[in-house]
Structure 1
Amino acid sequence: MTKTLITLAVTALLAGCSLAPVYERPAAPVTPAWPQGDAYQSTAASPNAKQAYDVQWREFIADEQLEKLVELALANNRDLRVSILNIEAARAQYGVQRADRVPGLNASVGQTAQRIPDNLSATGDGYITRQYTAGLGIPAFELDFFGRVKNLSEAALQQYLGTEEARRSQQISLVAEVANAWLTLAADQERLRLAQDTLKSQQISYELSKRRFEAGATSGLDMYEAQTSVETARSDMAVYTAQVAADQNALALLAGAPVPAELLPQGELQSVTQLAELPEGVPSEVLQRRPDVLSAERSLQAQNANIGVARAAFFPSISLTASAGAASSDLSNLFKAGAGTWSFMPQLNLPIFAGGRNQANLDLARTNRDIAVAQYEKSIQSAFREVSDALAQRGTLDERVASQAALVEASEKSYRIHEQRYQKGAESYLNALVSQRNLYAAQQTYISARLAKASNQVTLYKVLGGGWQ
């Protein structure tokens, strides 16, 4: 240990470098290719395709109302505002640490007055003495031979940059959350309209069954079965009315302000984004551009610099305090010749025994660095999993939507046939009721499938690191 410290000391004195380890980015702990299989589409992209992180969110959002809503959220969302204020705090902390790398300069003007009592005076008469001083001084300034102050400044810089990356990540999340909340509201509004249309249709069937029952043409069973459909649709209307209101409240929270009615979805759920190309390149190249991954790497670099701070504690520190000015017992003579004064006080602090404190601090700094490495690697693994999940959804959603559309069409034809047969008296209302319920369920699932496809575009854009510009 002693030989190592001596070697480090000589190296630092001669080269003026810090004692922090040379930073090397850890290898990405993910496979060199995106997942392949039945759930995934081809990940080949055209040579001129933009990566997601190069696509501005305004290019990605295709709907004008949604674009204005995102702008409103970026201006007023409180979580994003906190992130921006955190950046200001980190920038100020970096400024504090950076200021320690240059000597300070203070100006001082003072007066010292003292009365000598009669019993202490040589003449037996009391008197007052005065001294006036004026000067410039350098407070204790550390000569940073071993890079302690430099590494403190470097750690603060990396923390500041990491906070900036965290803000970018927060902005990406906000853009995606607003888009998904907007799409969810559009889907619930469509579900509410479906429930309203279903209620109107079932009320007609119920009135027909009721008239037939009152005329004695059918038993009460058909009427009561029709009534169950009416009440189910009425219940769904209440549920989706409340859900639409909750969706609007969620949008207002994300936007940080009341959302104007003209910015809410006006029509049926449809794709409001555009991200046609899949990412090209190996996962590590794509994921290391994500702001949350960059933020984790900044934290790792800050902990790496802290090792240099801990190592420097083993070596002597030199601080300088100096001042120069003038002193006089008479204010009028303060700046005349012969009144000059100066002081120079270098101080050497040599650590001899600290009860193992310095070694413990170094061990702690190394452990914190290792923790930061694990957190950085975990951030890449989590990002890889998020992208893989989004790609798996993307690869199957087209088939899911197409299948559900075909199911709605078939269910609607089946319901029409049974409804016509019932109105002609060819069969009971039970078959028409079953077909109607199947159609209603298929229509609801079709809305969910379309919502999942639209949301997947937003999610894929988010997890690939787009949306911060």
Structure 2
Amino acid sequence: MTHKRTSSRQRPGPAALRLAVPAGLGLFLGACTVGPDYRRPPAPVPVAYKEAAAKEGWQVARPTDVFDRGAWWSVYNDSVLDGLERQIDISNQNLKSAEARFRQAEAIVAEARAGFFPTATINAQAQRSRSSGNLGRGPGGPGSIANSFSVSEAASWVPDLWGSIRRTVEGDVASAQASAANVASARLAAQGQLASDYMQLRIADELKRLLDAAVRAYSESLRITQNQYNAGIVSASDVAQARTQLENTRAQAIATGVLRSQLEHAIAVLMGKLPAELTITPVPTVPPLPEIPAGLPSELLERRPDIAGAERRMAAANAQIGVAEAAFFPTVTLSASAGTAAEQIGKLLSAASRTWAFGSTLAETIFDAGARHAIVEQNRALLDAAIADYRQTVLTGFQQVEDDLSSLRILADQAAAQEAAVAASREAERIIFNQYKAGTVAYTNVVVAQTAALSNAETAINIRQSRLLASVGLIQALGGGWDASLLPGRDRIEADSPLNFNPLPPADTLSSFWDSLPRLW
């Protein structure tokens, strides 16, 4: 009688493989993505800007029709400003910090994407052991010494059945895009601050020229008064008043150097330079005031990097809800291992020493006292907070645009009135000084007229500064020519930080390892 022998070491046959392949495909095809799909919530957007509509002759236009994307300061037609601004991208440290955080965000995306793939490990072991002589008889007898050697490889994979990894990658990509928007915001903030400092520096130069001219005029007044005093026409008090007026104005002219130096130092730091490395030579002109159209309010959501960043943070928060909800579903782990083990190292390569195993694990949490529900609620609350932050950012953006539009409109009217006041005060100064030389009025009248004329001229310069700063602020509020289309897409982010399947550590890590070996001896 013939008996058919069976073996537990029998290899899986074709039938088993035919069953395994559809099962594996089923894991892919049956996979789903839990959690809410992202939809950008509505934000409050006016039909038109209130302050722009109040300006006569205003026409709808795009800011990018006026200033170049990325070089918005060119509207001021100032070559010195252009050269300073271009240093921002090269060495501004706040910008470099933001760029480094963006690279970190890209690496986090690569880390999350690695979850789509299995992990594999290799293990080598050599062991020499002695059994206790007071225990039962072992294979080698009490107190025996045994050697064991093994080499094995193992792999495991957790299929993304419920979309946990997909949602994680989705959220990390959105966070990386928000980080890219932060880079644009940091760049725009540095550019705007430099432009504002530069405008104030040029206004300080203009004020210095005004005060220097006043010093020259008051020196002439003092000379005339001194001559009249020498001729016995006026009293010594007139000379004292003229000298006081002169020296006070001279002191004001000197004082402008304090602010100018501080502004020059601030510009150097924005450029990533030491203050000692930058000197900005005075020029006889102030940058012209450009016309800046506000465009349509609906476009502001796409033009400001801070709004784009807030929107991307909403998307990231939304994805985290899906990650939290995926924890309610079972986790399947597929694992396999193969290797060799023997008591003698020379037998490791023999067929009899081979080992292998494969299998799967299904794990499901059946009780956690509501921890998973709490995590879901946390992430929903974070999404609500992100939505509120987004809408607040939008509101703040519109406020800044309206503020600067109203400032430009009102300051234009104020500038016109102030120029009239300057002309009138100059004429009054001329008339009263002629009357003084004719001996019909006291020198006190001259001092009052000179003070009024100088004060009005200073006010006119300060108004011009306010208009220039408001124009810079408006360009910043409108995004400086930036557009949401400049945000990197998912493909770009993944291409910038591809998966690295090299099992070796980075080259600099290996280098530091070899360098440290001599210190171990």
TM-score by length of 2: 0.79
Alignment counterpart, residue 98 of structure 2, candidates 71, 74, 83: 83
> For residues 361 and 263 of structure 1, what CA distance do their matches in structure 2 show?
56
SS in 2 for 1:227: helix
Alignment CA distance shift 1:264-1:343 (3 Å): farther
Alignment counterpart, residue 82 of structure 2, candidates 54, 59, 67: 67
Q: CA deviation at 1:55?
A: 5.6
Conserved? CA contact 1:186–1:269, under 8 Å: yes
Alignment CA distance shift 1:76-1:150 (3 Å): same
Q: CA deviation at 1:14?
A: 7.1
Residue 184 (structure 1) aligned with residue 189 (structure 2): no
Match of 2:240 in 1: 224
Partner deviation per Cα, 1:33-82 (whole Å, 9 max, x = no partner): 21157753554245896376846436545221111111223322221121
> For residues 433 and 367 of structure 2, what CA distance do their matches in structure 1 show?
94
Match of 1:465 in 2: 479
Conserved? CA contact 1:91–1:160, under 8 Å: yes
Question: Which aligned pairs between 1:244-263 and structure 2 lie closer than 5 A?
Answer: 244-258=260-274, 263=280
Name segments (4+ residues, structure 1) moved above 6 Å. Answer: none
Conserved? CA contact 1:182–1:264, under 8 Å: no
Alignment CA distance shift 1:427-1:47 (3 Å): closer
Alignment CA distance shift 1:132-1:183 (3 Å): same
Match of 2:284 in 1: 267
Alignment CA distance shift 1:302-1:49 (3 Å): closer
Match of 1:147 in 2: 163
Match of 1:237 in 2: 253
Conserved? CA contact 2:264–2:279, under 8 Å: no
> For residues 121 and 176 of structure 1, what CA distance do their matches in structure 2 show?
81
Partner deviation per Cα, 1:404-435 (whole Å, 9 max, x = no partner): 33332232222122222212323211222122
Alignment counterpart, residue 191 of structure 2, candidates 159, 168, 175: 175
> For residues 296 and 48 of structure 1, what CA distance do their matches in structure 2 show?
22
Using CA pairs under 8 Å that are at least 6 residues apart, name the structure with larger relative contact order, 1 or 2. 1
SS in 2 for 1:100: helix
Match of 2:114 in 1: 99
SS in 1 for 2:86: helix
Match of 1:323 in 2: 337
> For residues 62 and 310 of structure 2, what CA distance do their matches in structure 1 show?
30
Task: State percent identity of aligned pairs.
Answer: 27
Aligned length: 454
> For residues 455 and 98 of structure 1, what CA distance do their matches in structure 2 show?
46
Alignment counterpart, residue 154 of structure 2, candidates 133, 137, 141: 137
Conserved? CA contact 1:171–1:467, under 8 Å: no
Between stretches 119-128 and 55-64, larger displacement belongs to 119-128
Alignment CA distance shift 1:393-1:40 (3 Å): farther
Question: Which aligned pairs between 1:406-445 and structure 2 lie closer than 5 A?
Answer: 406-445=420-459
Conserved? CA contact 1:43–1:280, under 8 Å: no
Question: Which aligned pairs between 1:303-382 and structure 2 lie closer than 5 A?
Answer: 303-382=317-396
Q: CA deviation at 1:127?
A: 4.7
Alignment CA distance shift 1:338-1:53 (3 Å): farther
Q: CA deviation at 1:375?
A: 0.4
Residue identity in the other structure for 2:393: S
Residue identity in the other structure for 1:269: V
Q: CA deviation at 1:465?
A: 0.9
Partner deviation per Cα, 1:257-305 (whole Å, 9 max, x = no partner): 146656444222222x75x451433x13223331100110111111101
Conserved? CA contact 2:51–2:405, under 8 Å: no
Between stretches 79-88 and 324-333, larger displacement belongs to 324-333
SS in 2 for 1:143: coil
Match of 1:8 in 2: none
Unaligned runs of 5+ in 2: 1-26, 487-521
Alignment CA distance shift 1:368-1:46 (3 Å): closer
Alignment CA distance shift 1:170-1:41 (3 Å): farther
Match of 2:467 in 1: 453
Match of 1:109 in 2: 124
Conserved? CA contact 2:301–2:308, under 8 Å: no
Residue identity in the other structure for 1:320: L
TM-score by length of 1: 0.88
